[in-house]
A and B are shown apart, each in its own frame.
Chain A
Amino acid sequence: MGHLIPPSILPYVLPVVYGVVIVAVLPLMAGYIVLLERKVMADMQARLGPMRVGPHGLLQPIADAVKLLLKEDIIPEKADKLMFWVAPLVSVTMALLAYSAMPFGPAFQIADLNVGLLFILAVSSLGIYGIVLGGWASNSHYSLLGALRSAAQLVSYETAAGLGLVSALLLAGSLSLKDIVQAQYDQGEWFVFSVPIGFFIYLVGSIAETNRAPFDLPEAESELVAGYMTEYSGFRWSLYFLAEYANMIIVAGIATTLFLGGWLRPFPRFADHLPGTSVEIMDAIPGLVFLGVAAYCFWLAPKQPVKIQKIVMATVGGLCLALAGAMAAALFAPEGVRQGVYGGFWFLVKVMAYLYAFLWIRFTFPRYRFDQLMRLGWRFLIPLALVNLIAVATARVASEEWGWYPRITMILATIFTLAVALWLASRDQKHEPATETAGGD
């Protein structure tokens, strides 16, 4: 390829290609995350979920997208038209921009900034402007209340989540996302095991930041109808929607990179080979998973009631088979390609697992009230994050300067922080007469 493109633009080719791929694939991915969400929800609620459009509702996201795009574009008469028009664009642009520093694999990254993490955090929190502007421009009380809630919530929880991230940064010693993953490889464990409390704080903070239940107050459908999105419909609405899901993937990506080992596979240093081949055992897993899914699809296909569903199911099986083939082929491809493919696979698997936790939490818990949300943020999470930070920093000093065994110091730091967390929680209960007499709480 090198001899076709002038060397002066060569460095820009791959990032542009990656950018186009992300922008093209992300809406589809968001759509299928919605389908996944509905299926997981259905599973937890003893029902089936979407079953009509395509086999097991596999074409539902496409149908939804078509419906949204064909909808009438309604702008309320008294809305501020320009702002109403700009607001969703701000949200979605900022959400997409954040992807530019996200490493989906050792090779698949648009730009490896040395301040990558800061860049992502900064850009994704600019998305709040879209929400506030949209809420204000709609000229509706529900939208305004939703937007205000969202702004207050983001400010409070970004702080806590950020402090949670810093505890992992202390271990990594870099803001470049690539170096952070490398540090986890070098230290031989994912940071979630070194600083579990930092991970927990980031998990809670990231749910609140992306306005997901039980912190979905800005769009609490039973209180504010749809919060800041109340007056939006059709394509503009779907832009907000896309921004929300893009942000979910972003926070999941950050958590994966900082705490879950990024694109590293589980047991990255376990390098036993399959007997008689040069294939490492762990590398055989992805292909086998796809093979299993493909077999399941082919087994299901004849059982579908309608012919078109049989065809689609068989197609899905074929796709999985092709993916399995690609995974197998990548094993024998050059080192860079192999790492790219497998890194991407593990990264996405971890992102999905993180998102599954989001869904699980969403369908289990009731929604917080606004004052309770603020109290949890400022009185529990932020003090805890600070204590955790100090404990981790002390542990680092103990192991680096005084030569203590690093794992022991981290465990001690975690135990200390846990004790503080318990104390904070019990203090909170005393201050809050509401939970005092709760039976067994």
Chain B
Amino acid sequence: MTDTRTSGLSNVETTVLGADEIILNMGPQHPSTHGVLRVKLKLDGERVVDSECIIGYLHRGVEKIAEHRSYQQFAPYVDRMDYVAAVSNGLGYCEAVEKLLGAEAPPRARVVRTILTELQRIASHLLWLGTHALDIGALTPVFYCFREREEILKIFEKYCGARLTTHAFRIGGLQYETYDGFESDVKRFCEDFTHRIDEYETLLTENRIWVGRTKGVGILSAADAIALGVTGPVLRASGVKWDLRKAMPYAAYADYQFDIPTRPTGDTYDRYIVRMEEMRQSQRICLQAIENIPAGAIMAKVGKVLKPPPGEVYHSIEAPKGELGYYIVSDGTTQAYRVRVRPPSFINLQAFDRMARGSLVADVVAIIGTIDIVLGEVDR
């Protein structure tokens, strides 16, 4: 045992505990750490004095794999990072490689990509809502959310045959033309979704227990959020109006009207409201896009063997969880020299300690839920 009190908890044996303090190890097998996150908490009674996230239980070396696959071969791998938003991952990767090649997907492909990505955002947020509510103890919303998510997954399945890890896009555009009835399916879903989301809100938004459990919990100030590099709904709930779809439009976002919801306080309740509103905005984008899908080719001429010129590129998109960036270095061969992913979950998770300190054990699960992490993406 050492005499100095260590600020981190990286070694339980050498951490000197106060008389009333205990170390609680949450995870990697725990019902509400959303996969294999492990959190070490130093508790004074039920109050969190210190915390540390331990990650890496799901590390698969995705970035290293990229160096040994051709550009097309690597595309399905990115789906396995944020596996609840595979379509968004694919979009980011395909656009990054297109940028490296100097190619651009045709307009029809870009609109279809936009629609599918926004549907994916709704699906991802629905999964977040269900599990977050479940963590806080509301048992029922998760089933309603899965019911709606199922509709989206059915659209994906009809479009490309897969539901979860879709590999929906190709470098240069799309492989598949939309199926017959795609427009009507999306439209019907969007129209139903309006009152479905109102239904969830009646269960939660004004529920006193829900408000009590989320208001003032896990506050992250705008300054902290920016300093920690937090992006996505977590950042916007802290009052920073930053959304890559508006700031640096990609795909077909420049053509559509939508708002960026923000909230002032940056607590768990605000993040909940922001995500709920984002689902409505996504639905709005889908409805606009589905009205007018341009005709024409779905694939740009990029050739069968991709050999981007030597150079590097960084391209990022607004994934459901935040800024998803790909930094790709090409040495002129068919395989990337280096692919670095900027995963939003990983970086948002850094804010966990800031949010959790001083809160109660019950708040910890609410905070893990509200950051909306997917461990596949954190660990890669």
List residues of A whose CB falls within 8 A of some B CB: 41, 44-47, 141-142, 145, 213-214, 216-217, 220-225, 362-372, 432-435, 437-441
Contact = CB atoms under 8 A, between A and B. Distances in A.
Contacts of A214: 137, 209
Contacts of B365: 222-223
Nearest to A432: B212
Nearest to A217: B362
Nearest to B369: A222
Contacts, number: 104
Contacts of B361: 145, 223-224
Contacts of B133: 366
Contacts of B24: 141-142, 145
B360 A433 contact: no
Contact of B208 (A142, A145, A439, A441): A441
Contact of B209 (A216, A217, A368, A440): A368
A366 B141 CA distance: 10
Contacts of B208: 435, 438, 441
A220 B137 contact: yes
Interface stretch (B3-11, B69-77, B199-207, B227-235): B199-207
Given A220-B362, A364-B203, A366-B136, A46 B212 contact: no
A46 B144 contact: yes
B144 A45 contact: yes
A364 B133 CA distance: 11
Contact of A365 (B23, B30, B147, B209): B209
B210 interface: yes
B213 interface: yes
A372 B139 contact: no
B216 interface: yes
Given A220-B137, A366-B136, A366-B213, 12 more contacts: A45-B140, A46-B144, A216-B137, A222-B32, A222-B135, A222-B136, A224-B361, A366-B137, A368-B209, A369-B363, A371-B360, A372-B213
A85 B280 CA distance: 54
A398 B208 CA distance: 37
A178 to B, nearest CB: 38
Contacts of A213: 137, 139
Nearest to A47: B143
A158 to B, nearest CB: 21
Nearest to B216: A434
Interface of B: 22-25, 30-32, 46, 133-140, 143-144, 147, 203-213, 215-216, 360-365
B139 A362 contact: yes
Contacts of A216: 137
Q: Which one of B206, B215, B216, B362 has the greatest number of beta carbons of chain A within 10 Å?
A: B362
Per CB-CB distance, the 5 closest pairs between chain A and chain B, nearest first, are: A367-B137, A45-B143, A434-B215, A222-B32, A366-B138
A439 to B, nearest CB: 7
Contact of A366 (B22, B209, B215, B360): B209
A381 to B, nearest CB: 14
B137 A363 contact: no
A440 B206 contact: yes
A85 B197 CA distance: 49
28 contacts: A44-B140, A45-B140, A46-B144, A141-B23, A142-B24, A145-B46, A213-B137, A220-B362, A222-B137, A222-B365, A223-B361, A224-B361, A225-B30, A365-B138, A366-B138, A366-B207, A366-B210, A367-B213, A367-B362, A368-B137, A371-B360, A432-B212, A434-B212, A434-B216, A435-B208, A435-B212, A438-B215, A439-B205
B207 A365 contact: yes
Q: Which one of B30, B32, B139 has the greatest number of beta carbons of chain A within 10 Å?
A: B139
Contacts of A142: 24
Nearest to B265: A437
B65 to A, nearest CB: 34
Q: Which one of B31, B32, B361 has the greatest number of beta carbons of chain A within 10 Å?
A: B361
A433 B338 CA distance: 50
Given A223-B365, A225-B31, A438-B206, A369 B213 contact: yes
Nearest to A42: B143
Contacts of A371: 360
Contacts of A440: 206
Contact of B143 (A46, A224, A435, A439): A46
A44 B25 CA distance: 34
Nearest to A436: B215
Nearest to A434: B215
B362 to A, nearest CB: 5
Contacts of A364: 138, 140, 203
Q: Which one of B138, B205, B364 has the greatest number of beta carbons of chain A within 10 Å?
A: B138
A25 B32 CA distance: 36
B223 to A, nearest CB: 21
Contacts of B30: 225
Contacts of A372: 209, 212-213
Q: Which one of B144, B212, B215 has the greatest number of beta carbons of chain A within 10 Å?
A: B212
Contacts of A432: 212
A433 B139 contact: no
Nearest to B24: A141
B211 A438 contact: yes
Nearest to A441: B206
B148 to A, nearest CB: 11
Contacts of B216: 433-434
A4 to B, nearest CB: 54
A223 B39 CA distance: 12
Nearest to B134: A222
Q: Which one of A220, A370, A439 has the greatest number of beta carbons of chain B within 10 Å?
A: A220
Contacts of B139: 41, 45, 213, 362-363
A439 B269 CA distance: 11
A435 B140 contact: no
Contacts of B31: 221-222, 225
A145 B213 CA distance: 19
Given A434-B215, A440-B206, A223 B362 contact: yes
Nearest to B136: A366
Nearest to B269: A438
Given A223-B365, A370-B46, A435 B215 contact: yes
A441 B215 CA distance: 13
